[in-house]
Structure 1
Amino acid sequence: MFQLYKQRDFSGYIIDTIAFFKSYWKNFFGNYIVITGGILILLCVIYFFVFRDLFTALFSSVNDGIGYDISYYFSDNPVLFVSMLIMMIVLSILFSIFAVSYPVVYLGLIEETGREDFTSSEIFERIRKFLPRIIRFGLYSLVTFFPLIIVATLLASVLVLLVVGVFILILLIPVATVWITQTFYVYLLNEVSFTDAMRQGWKILFSKKFWHIIGSAVVIYFILSILQGMVTMIPYIFMMFSLFTTGNGELSADFGTYISILYIVSFVLSYILSNILTVNQGIVYYSMQEQRYHTQALSEIDLIGQNVE
């Protein structure tokens, strides 16, 4: 059984993230696809038709040598555009609720049951139970984290002429990611207020293992960025290949379709891979809980006491 409550350092966070997926990848991603697959497919279908028509129009204008005003695409199809936009917003919100909370709930079930496999209905019911808190977290974050990140970015930009400004800008993304994710874990898995969760998330982030936590997040983020970047670069490679192989400098008529499919693949991959970073932060969360409360150590003492009796 994977041990959640365990004191770790930089290498431990990364190694145990890999170990987790070696043990749980089939059940984890299988249930993830079952729970989010329907919404994800609908999103992909909408994205495909929107991007296909948009890219086709753009690339046709390139071939014709005529500049294309993107506003025409929306003004010529107002009803379709508004309908698609509403559907995209609704489906994106629904998908985000399940996608973001899924790793947190999954680790929570491991903590409670100690099992190595779960059914999609178990996970879905737990997410449904947490739904009010998930929605509140999203709303509270809009008026707390979002303004704070904007202010921090502006301050760092002002200080960019100094070395400290560059340093802050580099750290801003991993620091914000860790703080928000840790706050989410605390808020979802404990009966605390949002402000208390923010404070606890802050304490976890700026603990004695700050550089271990940030370092592991950066490494995982860097690996995921490379994987996503490899897929994202494919459309550009195809674009250049198509441009040079047509012989007349024109792009293929179906190029808009191809690039839309590739961007959708990149979109799906980014959401799937984001689970790895969230699980990594979950391992950080449980490690810090062990460091603070010695949960695993106390559990082992209780077990020894029961065996003696």
Structure 2
Amino acid sequence: MLQLYKSRDFGLIFKDTFGFLKTHGKHFFKNYITVNGIFILILVTMTYMFYKGYEDIVMGGYVGNNNFNALENYLNENAGSVLLYGSIYIIVGIIVGVLNYAFVPIYFKLYEKHKGANFASKEIVDELIGNISKLTIFILVSILIAIPLFIVVGIIGLLMAITLIGIPFLIFLGALVSFFYHSTLMEYIKSDKKGIFECFGYSLNLCFKKFFPSLGAMGIFMLIVGIAQSVFSIAQLIIMMSAGVMSLENPNSLSEIDQWSTLFVILFILQILSYLFNLLTAAVIQMNQAIVYYSLKEEIENINTQNTIEQIGSAPD
């Protein structure tokens, strides 16, 4: 078991993040896919239906009938169905987003409670259901706080961008904002006594505790993940361009319709793989931030030190 409450410097944050991945990665991702899988599958299915619909309407109309207004005509004729489908798609997307964002705080709460990864997906689902009201309050308050927060962050980011030298450091600004929200949710879900605004205040205090080592570690970790995502995206782009060149040799020919279908299947698969990869890497970023959260919480509250003293005091003579 990884000791959560422990003072960490820059290097130890990285070591414990990768150590957690190595030791509990299989358990983490297995439960991640189990808990979120059904809604991701629904979203993927709906996305596939959208891709196929787009292909049938636009490519079928353009390639088969030279109808450049096929999509516009379809939307005008089926406005009600499109609105209903779009609304369901947005709702499912929001559910997927909330579940993915809440998974890591719930996972670490159970990890702390069981003193290790000795729990199953059912307990994670039960915790998610039990925290629906907290998640709803968190989302609403987060939107409210985001208005002034992003004005301030936007001004700071603009000043950094103007100096040019500050552009590479924008990722650290993003890491700070991301950690502010994530540590708030972790504290809110863990605590039965603190209100949401108290948790935001606590999170703000954490943000400036051991500021440079913690922010540096989170920013560089986000950069590493961002590079991995970029490499995946570049590979995706190369495959898409290669498929596109093969499929567009004669786009006005009716015989090319089957090739267009093949192209869209390839594009769809690549998009889904990219989406899943981004979800999983985003969870890893949250995992890194959770390690920082417990480290900074130990700095403020000395939880591990107090527990050690209590164990010594309760030891039999």
Closer, same or farther: CA 80–116 of 1 in aligned 2, 3 Å: same
Q: Aligned residue for 2:7? A: 7
The aligned runs of 1:66-105 (5 Å cut-off) are: 74-105=75-106
1:204 paired with 2:212, answer no
Which residue type is aligned with residue 41 of structure 2? I
Pair 38,246 (structure 1): closer, same or farther in 2 beyond 3 Å: closer
Give yes or no for contact 1:27–1:117 (8 Å, CA) kept in 2: no
CA drift of 1:132 comes to: 0.5
The reply on whether 1:256 has 2:273 as its aligned counterpart is: no
Helix, strand or coil: the match of 2:197? helix
The one of 274, 277, 292 aligned to 1:269? 277
Partner residue of 2:25?
Answer: 25
Tell me the secondary structure at the aligned position of residue 13 of structure 2: helix
**Structure-2 separation of matches of 1:221 and 1:170:** 8
1:143 aligned partner: 144
Distance (Å, rounded) in 2 between the aligned partners of 1:262 and 1:196: 43
In the TM superposition, residue 92 of structure 1 has moved relative to its aligned partner by 1.8
* Aligned equivalent of 1:39: 39
The answer to whether the 8 Å contact 2:6/2:295 transfers is yes
Contact 1:110 1:116 in 2 (8 A): yes
Shift of the 295–167 alpha-carbon distance from structure 1 to 2, 3 Å rule, reads same
Read off the aligned partner of 1:92 and give its amino acid letter.
G
- The Cα shift of 1:162 comes to 4.2
Compute the TM-score of the two structures, normalised by the length of structure 1. 0.87
Q: Which amino acid aligns with 1:273?
A: T
Comparing 158-167 with 179-188, greater Cα deviation is found at 158-167
Is the CA contact (8 Å cut-off) linking 1:156 and 1:168 kept in structure 2?
no
Distance in 1 between residues matched to 2:71 and 2:213, nearest whole Å:
46
Contact 2:171 2:222 in 1 (8 A): no
Listed as ranges, the gaps of 5+ residues in structure 2 are none
Q: How many residues align?
A: 308
CA distance in 2, matches of 1:62, 1:163: 45
CA distance in 1 between partners of 2:301 and 2:136 (Å): 29
Identity within the alignment, % = 22
Matches within 5 A, 1:67-216: 74-154=75-155, 156-157=157-158, 160-162=161-163, 166=167, 169-190=170-191, 191-207=193-209, 209-216=210-217
Any idea what SS the aligned residue of 1:307 has?
Answer: coil
Tell me if structure 2 keeps the 8 A contact 1:232–1:262: no
Cα RMSD of the aligned pairs, angstroms, is 2.8
Structure 2 partner of 1:233: 234
1:282 aligned onto 2:282: no
CA drift of 1:243 comes to 3.8
Relative to structure 1, the CA distance from residue 52 to residue 158 in structure 2 (aligned partners, 3 Å threshold; closer, same or farther) is farther
In the TM superposition, residue 51 of structure 1 has moved relative to its aligned partner by 3.0
8 Å contact 1:24–1:117 — kept in the other structure? no
Cα deviation for residue 160 of structure 1 reads 4.4
**Equivalent pair of 1:52/1:260 in contact (CA under 8 Å):** no
Rounded Cα–Cα distance in structure 2 between residues aligned with 1:82 and 1:283: 42
**One of 288, 296, 299 as aligned partner of 1:291:** 299
Q: Distance in 1 between matches of 2:171 and 2:292?
A: 21
Q: Quote how far apart the aligned CAs of 1:150 are.
A: 3.9
Q: Which residue of 2 aligns with 1:301?
A: 309
For 1:73 and 1:223, the matched residues in 2 are separated by: 43
Task: Give CA-to-partner distance per residue, 1:211-237, whole Å, 9 cap, x none.
Answer: 222222222222222332333334421
AA matched with 2:260: A
Instruction: Tell me, yes or no, if the aligned pair for 2:61 and 2:70 is still in contact at 8 Å.
Output: no
TM-score normalised by structure 2 residue count: 0.85
**Letter of the aligned partner of 2:196 in structure 1?**
F
Equivalent residues of 1:53, 1:256 under 8 A apart: no
